[in-house]
Amino acid sequence: MKAVDLYHFSGTGNTLLIVQSMARTFLDRGVAVRLHPIETTDSFRIAISDTLGLAFPVAVQSTYPFVWRFINALPKGEGKPAFLVDTLAGYSGGIVRPLRDLLLRKGYVPLGEKEIIMPNNLSKTPASETANASIIRKGMDQAIAFAAALATNRTEWKTGFLTEYGMLFMYLLAIGMMSKPVQHLLSKAVFLNIDAKRCARCHLCVSLCPVGNIRLPDGKRDSVPKIGNTCQLCMRCVAYCPSSAIHFGRWNRGGERYHAVSLSEIQRYYRNDIE
């Protein structure tokens, strides 16, 4: 492997930590790395010189619809190798197999996949820092080992019995998540709210939303932002709101929120403009 174009998304920083660990490992082994944020990459400008890497969080046994849309828009693989790393709190039903099939259909050669357990960013109250620190340390160790194995061609894209047959339901669920009607239903059924009393009108959430779903209703700087109906529940606005004003239904109102990296680190990697 000579070079990796690693396209990545992270809502609350878990996946970003994994991406950073892998990038350092690749560089140490003489593999060039170009990092591209999925959320601001124009699909017409996706270019893979040598190896394609994909990194994203698991969401509802699949991943976010805009990530799937990005993957669907990938150019033809023409025999280039591709790998996947995803982060999750415990279990992703069927994402590994459908993604492999999709990449194969596009003409990529599936090189290897790794699912890495990281802290749950959907929990009502974050676990203790010590517990999270130990999960994160183990996750980063796995990321380093995976990148080292990729660099020396020692990986495989596993398709054991369970992923082949036993996970049919999860496979269908993952496929279903990509479909337009399901995306529409999800956006109507599950949504975030902004508590106007808590909101400091800093409008950070407007610039953090990866899909431009948080806006100022009348463009006035002193307005409480409004959340539209294309929320993908990545939790970034919830995690980084300085006054904990954004909450998920009646759940996690106020209080402490989980995020794995600082706000400035998220802003450094995920600028809200086109690449």
Ligand X SMILES: Cc1cc2nc3c(=O)[nH]c(=O)nc-3n(C[C@H](O)[C@H](O)[C@H](O)COP(=O)(O)O)c2cc1C
Interface contacts to ligand X, rule CB under 6 A: 10-15, 57-61, 87-92, 118, 120-122, 233-235, 260
Please report how close the Cβ of residue 92 comes to ligand X at its closest, in angstroms. Answer: 5
Compute φ and ψ for 95, nearest 5 degrees: -75, -30
Nearest to ligand X of 81, 139 (CB atom):
139
| Minimum distance from residue 250 beta carbon to ligand X (Å) | 16
Other C-beta atoms closer than 10 Å to the C-beta of 62 total: 23
Nearer to ligand X, 14 or 41 (CB): 14
In angstroms, how far is CA 9 from the centroid of its own chain? 4
Closer of 25 and 121 to ligand X (Cβ): 121
Instruction: Look at strands 226-227 and 81-88 and give their pairing.
Output: unpaired
Q: Name the strand (E) or helix (H) holding 103.
A: helix 96-106
Closer to ligand X by Cβ: residue 132 or 159: 132
* E strands in the chain: 3-8, 32-37, 51-57, 81-88, 109-117, 192-194, 214-215, 226-227, 246-248
As measured in angstroms, the least distance from the Cβ of 80 to ligand X is: 25
Task: State in angstroms the smallest separation of the CB of 59 from ligand X.
Answer: 4
- In the complex, the smallest distance separating the C-beta of residue 131 from ligand X, rounded to whole angstroms, is 13
Task: With CA atoms as reference, report the closest residue to 90 among 123, 112, 66.
Answer: 123
